[in-house]
Amino acid sequence: MSAVEHKAMVESLKNNGVFKLKDDKTGKELELEFVDTHQPVRQLDDGHYFACTDFRVVGTKNEIYDIDFWVSDKDGKMTVDQTKVHKVPELKSGEWVQVPRYEWKDLGASHVVP
């Protein structure tokens, strides 16, 4: 299990299966369910690892947030240092789509972790 999935599981267990996350832009507390981690995981030039994930709004089917996690190796243990909303679900023409708040190029150079 990855550090990101472990954090999602631990946080969800505290809240009856709900992963609670404060939206870094709106300040709203999101109630989410972990769906999956995107592949590949990347390592940024500053040494952090970067994982992109999908979380579904609790009680919905297609309202999916793309949440990014920055992870670092601290004495051999992978630890989540930062969490940020990358894409938000918006209803457009009757369909839920993910709208990005920032682009990959904003994060700097990276490479795929083997």
pTM comes to 0.83
Joined together, the tokens standing for residue 36 give: 């999956």
- CB distance 86 to 73 below 8 Å: no
Residue 110 CB contacts under 8 Å (≥ 6 apart), including other chains: 42, 43, 44, 45, 50
Q: What's the pLDDT band for 87 if we cut at 50, 70, 90?
A: very high
pLDDT of res. 10: 78
Partners of 91 in the β-ladder: 96
Q: What's the pLDDT band for 107 if we cut at 50, 70, 90?
A: low
